[in-house]
Amino acid sequence: MDADALPGASVIPTHVAVIMDGNGRWAASRGWPRIRGHEEGAQAVSKVVRRCGELGVQALTLYSFSTENWERPDDEVDALMGLLASYLTSEAKELMERKVRFRAIGELNRLPGMVQSLIHDLTALTENNDGLQLTLALSYEGRAELVHAMRKVAQGIVENALRPDDITESVIGQHLYTAGIPDPDLVIRTSGEMRLSNFLLWQLAYAEIYVTEVLWPDFDEDDLQVAFKEYSLRKRRFGKTGQQLSEGSGV
């Protein structure tokens, strides 16, 4: 990881997950329509994707649209789907130039047909890129992902491809939407909210959590640097004592 490119951070996380929150509040505080906040939030996405790629982050997963968001007013949902379609179209060239691999996870069949087609096309276009793995969680919720994985595992048992004793954490991980991507090291939540909001519930088991009061449209490269600096100061023990970690590293 290119920690030298980020002053104050000696360790760059391999996989960063972001709960992007505060678009509506950002717009409301300025007396603007909520969609304006989402438009500015899309600009923040571009900045963070670009910077993560420059720093050598291997994977970035963004909580872009939850299943609960379908309950928002129809006009806002329609505007969000239009904004998503615009992003998938306008960012394709830059994603290719920066060798970013794109994918989307969630109940994608609930998305408008045009958006599904754009996701398919962008995934295929970037599949051979060897840079940052960018994942958008769309029509996504963590519990639904676990239900989906359990059904896949159960089907394997029914088909005699698996025995109950074969079921391990690794096997479950292979049936998650994020199969093949390492679990996040760091999850960033903007707007000061202190909850995971049903995001990557299995994968975030050992992730470091960083919460900032900054609203997502205002989150930029400097805020990312602050988050990474804080991450580099954390001691990730994974159940061990500090002494055990020191002895294991030869310190």
Instruction: Based on the residue annotation, tell me whether 21 is a catalytic residue of this protein.
Output: yes
Angle at 212 (CA atoms; ends 210, 216), nearest 5 degrees: 115
Directed axis angle between helix 221-233 and helix 34-55, to 10°?
A: 60
Given a contact cutoff of 8 angstroms between Cβ atoms, the answer to whether 61 and 135 are in contact is yes
Rounded to 10 degrees, the C-alpha dihedral 79/36/120/173 comes to -110
Directed axis angle between helix 34-55 and helix 74-90, to 10°?
A: 30
CB-count exposure of residue 29 (10 Å: 0-12, 13-18, 19+): exposed
Given a contact cutoff of 8 angstroms between Cβ atoms, the answer to whether 216 and 44 are in contact is yes
Tell me the C-alpha distance between 248 and 220, whole Å: 36
The active-site residue out of 4, 69, 165, 220 is: 69
Instruction: Based on the residue annotation, tell me whether 198 is a catalytic residue of this protein.
Output: no
Active-site residues, by number, are 21, 69
